[in-house]
Amino acid sequence: PWLGHATLTSITALRRWDSTGEADIDYSGADIWYRPYGKNNNRVRFDTFSQELRLAGSADRVDWMAGLYYDNEKLERRDAVTMGAAYEPYLSIAVLNDIAAAFPPGVVDTTGAATFMSEAAGMPYGTAFTGAASQDRWDQDAKSTSAFGNITFHATDKLALTLGARYTHESKSVDSFYSNPNDGLGCAAALANPGQVGAALAGRGVPGAYVGSIVPTVIGYMCLPWANPLFDGRTTTQDFTDNEWSGTAKATYRWNESVMTYVSAARGYKAGGFNLDRVQSANGLSDGPPGVVPVTDTSFPGEFVNSYELGAKTNWQDGDLLLNAALFHSKYTDFQLNSFLGTSYVVRSIPELISKGLDADLLWQTHVPGLSLQAGATYTDAKYGNDPLPDPALALVPGGTASFAPKWALTGGVTYQWNFNSYLMGRFNLGAKYMTEYNTGSDLNPAKMQPSYTLLNARMVVGAISKRWQVELWGSNLTDRTYKQVGYDAPIQPGSYNAFLGAPRTYGLTLRASL
């Protein structure tokens, strides 16, 4: 029959991920601001159910597969921010220093800065900027249903043609609830009486001609998202539906037993979503200039990529030497860049990103019994398009080299395996990875550049030849290289940067056993 021999595969999965935490989000010893512990304060929970059915078979010159997929993910996020006793003194000093930097020394009085925001709000010191600032909740429901299939036609013994397609229906909805337990008193007072803010600036020596242009900046400091009462009591509901095609076309040609070449084209799709954070701008639009008006529509569109590849897979020396190489070119539209803009996380759609380059890898089983060598090299040129973005913090992105995209990534390793006797074996591996410099920040700030570095890892294994048990002694980053994984702006600390560092030198012992 045309179906030939077919196999039906069913995969059902149910997953739950739950995290409750707290954080000192100013990353200092001062009591400035923090996220308190508690499931109703700071918690993220995912509940996911997925079901996949695949029917695959072959007949004559045809290999085929068809399937259905369903996924339902429910997400709960609770986020709370508390302002500490040092919040107002710190922010008052920060805003006055920022203003003073624009004038000759001594023009703007920064003494007694701890009371400046209270003065600007016209309220007693310490009454407006302390205690619970925000308590927000997001409940998101996402469903994905797709039908997919591919077919490979072996036109000759050497030529094979593959076509694949996937139709995806995505639906997402999110309910958002915002609250300011302290009513955002300082921000509310500033918004109601900007003249008081101007008077406070004039009292500090700011020339009258500049007061009007500086008032919005000061109000912006006083109305940072968590302290902005315009969010208080807001509830919003957002939803969207996407229906998209993705797929691939590929041709392979086997020249002989040692050499196979291929060319492929593919279209990929990643669904859009919602920013689950307070977002504000001057006009209430997500792409508007900086301001304090809450953004109701926090959605971002789906991401697409058209990718092309030309490559070869070869083996030599009776299969002991494998050498593969490929040229690749990928063009992304509406690339989803996750950015920390100093006060909130926002996924910003970048109109265009093009990534192209060359990838090669080698595996050689040497003539020395048990000794093998591995090597790999990737050259990547990844650049954003020149389209301007609405966020001043992302001004360096248009036309820039994409973050986390080193020009060169090189790997190498050596493995030696031997048998102690007919029951016991040993294996030793030493591997290295070299990366040229790359930027670790989504905003491409030069301060977040990671210089080139090399990581060295090793592993020693002793175990049964049957693999019933193994003991592994391993070490990673043996030279204890310090390197940044992600760089980001220190919250409300202009000109300061923090980073999540890679793991230091680490040793471990792993035991494996199977029945």
The DSSP letter of residue 336 is E
- Per-residue burial over 101-134, b if 16 or more Cβ lie within 10 Å, else e, is eeeeeeebebeebbebbbbbbbbebeebbbebbb
The Cα 402–Cα 408 span in angstroms is 14
pLDDT of residue 512: 94
Give the residue carrying structure tokens 């529509």.
Answer: 297
pLDDT > 80? residue 495:
no
DSSP labels, 291-307? -SEEPS--EE--EEEEE
Confidence category of residue 29, pLDDT binned at 50, 70, 90: confident
Asked if the model's pLDDT at residue 296 lies above 50, the reply is yes
- pLDDT surpassing 50 at residue 50: yes
Closest CA to 162 of 283, 80, 47, 262: 262
Contact 336, 343 (CB under 8 A): no
pLDDT at 394: 87
Residue predicted with more confidence, 165 or 126: 165
Query: Cα–Cα distance between 424 and 417 in angstroms, integer?
Result: 11
pLDDT per residue as tens digits for the range 121-163: 888 877 778 889 999 999 999 999 999 999 999 999 999 999 9
In one letter, which amino acid is 242?
A: D
Give the model's pLDDT for residue 182.
83
Lowest mean per-residue pLDDT among 5-19, 24-38, 290-304: 24-38
Q: Picking from 116-130, 169-183, 286-300, which range would have the lowest pLDDT averaged per residue? A: 116-130
- What does the angle CA 64 – CA 65 – CA 71 come to, to the nearest 5 degrees? 165
Round the average pLDDT of the chain to a whole number and report it: 93
Asked if pLDDT for residue 52 goes beyond 80, the answer is: yes
User: 288 to each of 384, 392, 444, how far by Cα in Å?
Assistant: 21, 11, 21
User: How confident is the model over 458-486, as a mean pLDDT?
Assistant: 96
The model's confidence at residue 302, banded by pLDDT at 50, 70 and 90, is: very high
User: Which tens digit of pLDDT belongs to each residue from 436-451?
Assistant: 999 999 999 999 999 9
How far apart CA 87 and CA 64 sit, in angstroms, is: 63
Tell me the average pLDDT across 196-220.
93
In 3D, which of 272, 234, 39 has the Cα closest to residue 140?
272
User: Which three-class secondary structure state does DSSP give residue 142?
Assistant: strand
Evaluate if residue 218 carries a pLDDT over 90: yes
Q: Which residue has the higher pLDDT, 346 or 15?
A: 15
pTM: 0.88
pLDDT value of residue 4: 58
Least trusted range by pLDDT, from 40-54, 194-208, 488-502 = 488-502
Q: What is the pLDDT of residues 323-349, one digit of tens each?
A: 999 999 999 999 999 887 667 778 989
pLDDT number for residue 3 = 54
End-to-end CA distance of the chain: 41
Token pair of 134 as six digits: 């925000």
pLDDT band at 1 (very low <50, low <70, confident <90, very high): very low
Q: Is the pLDDT of residue 261 over 90?
A: yes
Contact 408, 377 (CB under 8 A): yes
% of the chain surpassing 90 pLDDT: 79
Q: What is the mean pLDDT of residues 210-232?
A: 93
Residue with tokens 């494996």: 512
Q: Average pLDDT for residues 203-215, to the nearest whole number?
A: 94
Distance CA 391, CA 350 (A): 11
Helices 194-203 and 208-222, packing angle to 10 deg: 120
Looking at per-residue pLDDT, the higher value among 346 and 240 belongs to: 240
Which residues partner with 174 through β-bridges?
Answer: 140, 238
